[in-house]
């Protein structure tokens, strides 16, 4: 018998705000977080729009910004969301066994600052265009900050969270592209199920809104170029979609063994019941054209939860707004759910928030848990022109009041990484 796992705390830092109820209100009102890029001069880039976190500081959680000047944006987002989740759970100052408390994140790398490298090369270059290693090293010792270099590592958010909350159990980070934080949550659930820990702080954080990140996705022709209409650019499943909109932020959840949560009278957002994780085993940048990995991942999650497809009330789709993803995800849902695929509501909150990359899975799971709480389904905004290849119920443009006891949240990443999570309304 596996132990039951429930969600007792949630926290986010997103392009729609940093307070859960404000974010959820903006989701339901379809208020897009996409605008022109301000974090760097993108005027010469093919894509000049993104969903940035604005008007937020780590001071919001009582931290001195000067103490975090060497940390990248993604780490500060993770710490902010983690603090909010811990406070929301009631565990922030509670007495419990910290040896059985761990952290599992799906966090990306920090900002790739190549200006320093350019300075090093310029300073170390001889007249014949070769590098004088002594000058190169001397310049490096002069301008490089070793702490800032270390802080770009993707495991640093989990390390800071572990230290901040005294989590002495497993401290793990996985970076599986857009599936990262969904996979992190799924693996964290498994740690509790098999009695390795009682509590896990899990989720993800990422920021790729920098020249290197935007350049990379532009070279892959993955980003929308609808620069004159930022808020209408992310349009999953719409026939006129032209790519995704990159976003940033963090989402963290407190996962807790049921009896541990009940003993302290914790509020429960929902129970985690299903997890599937597969690989397309195909191409690095393309998902399998027949949705092989996505379909098997959803099937695995259903089997893991011990439920039938007809038991699912809502699917929060990966729904990136790229031509290939939306078509193939639709196909994979049909393969998994059969005729019921045409009855189950499917929506993509990326239409509102943009794509938070490694943080997408955790934030979208939180939106799905709030859908359970309120019996209301978030919309897919900017859905205007139906695509014959995308013919499911995408909850177009407006939220929908509906029975919502069981949700599935999908995330599929570059490299063929697939993760599906299933949560349900908690009943004792």
What tokens were used for 230?
């930022």
CA distance 116 to 373: 48
Residue 355 is a catalytic residue: yes
Closest CA to 384 of 242, 231, 235: 235
Got the DSSP string for 144-155?
Answer: --HHHHHTTSTT
Residue 260 is a catalytic residue: no
Residue count of the chain: 428
| Residues 6+ away with beta carbon under 8 Å from 4 | 257, 258, 271
What tokens were used for 109?
């790398």
| Residues 6+ away with beta carbon under 8 Å from 337 | 298, 309, 312, 344
Which entry of 210, 318, 390, 404 is annotated as an active-site residue? Answer: 318
What tokens were used for 160?
């800071």
Q: Is the dihedral of CA 131, 133, 139, 143 positive or negative?
A: positive
Strand, helix or coil at 347?
strand
Closest CA to 32 of 420, 422, 349: 349
Exposure class string for 49-74: b at 16+ Cβ within 10 A, else e: bbbbbeebebeebebeeeebeebbbb
Residue 318 is a catalytic residue: yes
Which entry of 74, 206, 210, 355 is annotated as an active-site residue? Answer: 355
Q: Is the dihedral of CA 88, 94, 96, 101 positive or negative?
A: positive
Which entry of 160, 174, 178, 206 is annotated as an active-site residue? Answer: 178
Q: Which positions are catalytic?
A: 178, 318, 355
């Amino acid at each position: 018998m596996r132990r039951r796992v429930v969600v007792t705390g949630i926290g986010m830092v997103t392009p729609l705000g940093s307070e859960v109820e404000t974010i959820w209100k903006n989701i339901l009102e379809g208020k897009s977080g996409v605008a022109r890029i301000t974090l760097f001069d993108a005027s010469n880039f093919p894509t000049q729009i993104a969903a940035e976190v604005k008007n937020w500081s780590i001071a919001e959680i009582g931290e001195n910004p000067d103490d975090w000047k060497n940390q990248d944006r993604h780490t500060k987002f993770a710490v902010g969301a983690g603090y909010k989740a811990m406070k929301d759970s009631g565990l922030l100052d509670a007495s419990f066994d910290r040896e059985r408390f761990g952290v599992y994140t799906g966090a990306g790398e920090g900002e790739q600052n190549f200006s320093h490298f350019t300075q090093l090369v310029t300073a170390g270059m001889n007249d014949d265009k070769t590098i004088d290693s002594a000058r190169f090293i001397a310049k490096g010792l002069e301008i490089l900050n070793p702490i800032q270099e270390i802080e770009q590592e993707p495991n640093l958010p989990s390390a800071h969270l572990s230290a901040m909350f005294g989590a002495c159990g497993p401290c793990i980070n996985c970076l599986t592209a857009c599936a990262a934080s969904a996979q992190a949550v799924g693996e964290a659930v498994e740690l509790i199920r098999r009695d390795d820990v009682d509590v896990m702080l899990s989720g993800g954080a990422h920021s790729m809104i920098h020249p290197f990140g935007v350049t990379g996705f532009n070279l892959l022709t993955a980003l929308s170029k609808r620069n004159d209409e930022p808020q209408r650019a992310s349009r999953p499943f719409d026939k006129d979609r032209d790519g995704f909109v990159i976003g940033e932020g963090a989402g963290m959840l407190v996962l807790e063994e049921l009896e541990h949560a009940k003993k302290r009278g914790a509020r429960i957002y929902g129970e985690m019941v299903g997890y599937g994780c597969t690989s397309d085993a195909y191409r690095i940048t393309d998902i399998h054209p027949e949705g092989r990995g996505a379909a098997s991942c959803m099937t695995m999650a259903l089997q893991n939860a011990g439920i039938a497809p007809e038991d699912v009330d809502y699917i929060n789709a990966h729904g990136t707004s790229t031509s290939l993803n939306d078509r193939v995800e639709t196909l994979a849902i049909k393969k998994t759910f059969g005729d019921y695929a045409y009855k189950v509501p499917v929506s993509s909150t990326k239409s509102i928030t943009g794509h938070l990359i490694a943080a997408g899975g955790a934030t979208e799971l939180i939106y799905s848990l709030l859908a359970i709480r309120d019996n209301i389904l978030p919309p897919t905004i900017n859905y205007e022109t139906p695509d014959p290849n995308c013919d499911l119920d995408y909850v177009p443009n407006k939220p929908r009041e509906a029975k919502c006891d069981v949700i599935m949240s999908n995330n599929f990443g570059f490299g063929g990484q697939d993760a599906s999570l299933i949560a349900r309304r908690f009943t004792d």
